Each structure stands twice: as structure tokens, then as C-alpha cells.
Structure 1
Amino acid sequence: MTTLDELSREHCRPLRGSEHLLTAAQANSLLTCLPDWSVSDGGLLEKEFNFASYAATLLFVNTVAGLAERENHHPDLEVGYGRVRVSYSTHDVGGLSRNDFTCAAKIEALIRI
């Protein structure tokens, strides 16, 4: 079984095609190492983060943006005062890929520092 630490040390790879699409069992297995993340009915890997201030919210958004650029794997971000919803899906595979879980693990590693 993959751990959060192992997953956070991986790097995203360019993925195209449905052969990289995770099965529900594979996604559920990876989900067990991501605290409070869930897979929505729409097939997105999601989590909402809460912050005490708008400045802290924007610092998180900018940090996630830097991570996304470095990994070349970009989430959808929904930003409000003191909250950010992060949603991942790999459009080029038609759903969830290992890259989504890798980036979610990297975000978890960031917030634990």
C-alpha cells in the first residue's frame, strides 16, 4: 500500500489515453492516504481547505499554483474568503489518474510543514 509520504515524493508524468485512467478500486486505495480528500459524484478528487485570513488563503493559492506549474498538472481552484476548494482530474485520460493523487499528496505535505 502506498503511503502519503511515498506519494508526495513522486512526480507527475505526461499521461494521455484511457489506459492511465484509475479504476474505482485503485482510486479508493490511494484515497486512504489522503486525509479528508474525497472523490465527488462527478469523479473529481477534492478537498476544501480553511484559513483564518484572506492573506493566508492567497498564500496557499499561490503555493499550490507554483506546485502545479512545477508538476505541469493543474487543479481547479475555487477561492473564497478563508477557504479554497481544490479539485483534480486528468482531462487527457478522461478522469482520475495517479497524477491527481500525487499532487494532492504534495499539497498535504505542504500544509504539514
Structure 2
Amino acid sequence: MSESLAEQECVACNSEDEPLIGDEYAEYLEEIDEDVWAVIDEHHLEGAYDFEDFRGALDFTKEIGELAEEEWHHPDIHLQWGTVTVEMWTHKIDGLHKTDFVMAARMDRIYDRLVAN
């Protein structure tokens, strides 16, 4: 069985890499939560996670912040009561890279674990 996207390594890109477009990221979209994530203008991922209260949203924000620091891949995060909105793209290439989808899949796992408790 192949390794899931969330289990794959976040690989840094270099400035010569081209952003993913169209069919190039289609397989990655299949492995992230379609009810959470959308590709916006073939430039970035945007996701919204819902929580029952502010504490749940805050706990999630802290965990994805730790993930971002570990991987040195930092999303834009907007925290509000009951919702966390995340925008993810690779700044070095000003567009989407496989690592953005790996991070999204890992965020989905964090969310699933937190809301299951």
C-alpha cells in the first residue's frame, strides 16, 4: 500500500521549481478533505475548520502552528470563535507545491483527532 499524503515528507522547493497547476495537483486534492479545502485561482489552498467553541479553535491553531514550525512551512491562519481559516501556498514559488497538500492532509488529521475527543 502506498504512503498517504499526510505521511509523506515535506520537501523544500527551490526558486526554479514551477508551481503546480490543474491536473498536476489533482491527485493531491483527492487526499485532503474536500469539505474543508479549495484551490483558489490555482495559487493557494484555502481551508475552513469548524469547532464548537473558541477553545477548540484555539487548540487547533496552536497545533497547526507547531506543525508549521516543525516543517518550516507557514500558512496564514485566521482564528475566530468556532472557526479557523487557513491559507497555504509556497511563497518561494508564489504558488502551489506538493508540500502545501502534505501540510493540508496533516492539518486534516490534527482536526480529526481533536474533534474526536
Stretches of 4+ aligned residues off by more than 3 angstroms = none
Q: C-alpha distance in 1, partners of 2:51/2:44?
A: 22
Match of 1:79 in 2: 79
3-state DSSP class of the match of 2:52? coil
Contact 2:79/2:85, CA 8 A, preserved across alignment: yes
Q: Does 1:104 align with 2:107?
A: no
Q: C-alpha distance in 1, partners of 2:13/2:25?
A: 16
**Shift in Å at residue 28 of structure 1?**
2.3
Q: C-alpha distance in 2, partners of 1:19/1:46?
A: 22
Q: CA RMSD in A?
A: 1.7
Match of 2:15 in 1: 17
Contact 2:43/2:94, CA 8 A, preserved across alignment: no
**Structure 2 residue identity aligned to 1:73:** H
Match of 2:32 in 1: 34
Match of 1:92 in 2: 92
Number of residue equivalences: 110
Structure 1 unmatched runs, 5+: none
Cα 1:20–1:10 shift into 2, 3 Å: farther
Q: Does 1:49 align with 2:52?
A: no
Contact 2:78/2:84, CA 8 A, preserved across alignment: yes
Match of 1:7 in 2: 5
Q: C-alpha distance in 2, partners of 1:109/1:56?
A: 15
Q: C-alpha distance in 2, partners of 1:18/1:27?
A: 18
Contact 1:19/1:93, CA 8 A, preserved across alignment: yes
**Structure 2 residue identity aligned to 1:50:** D
Deviations 1:15-63 (A, max 9, x none): 1224242132122221122112110136211110011111111000000
**Structure 1 residue identity aligned to 2:8:** E
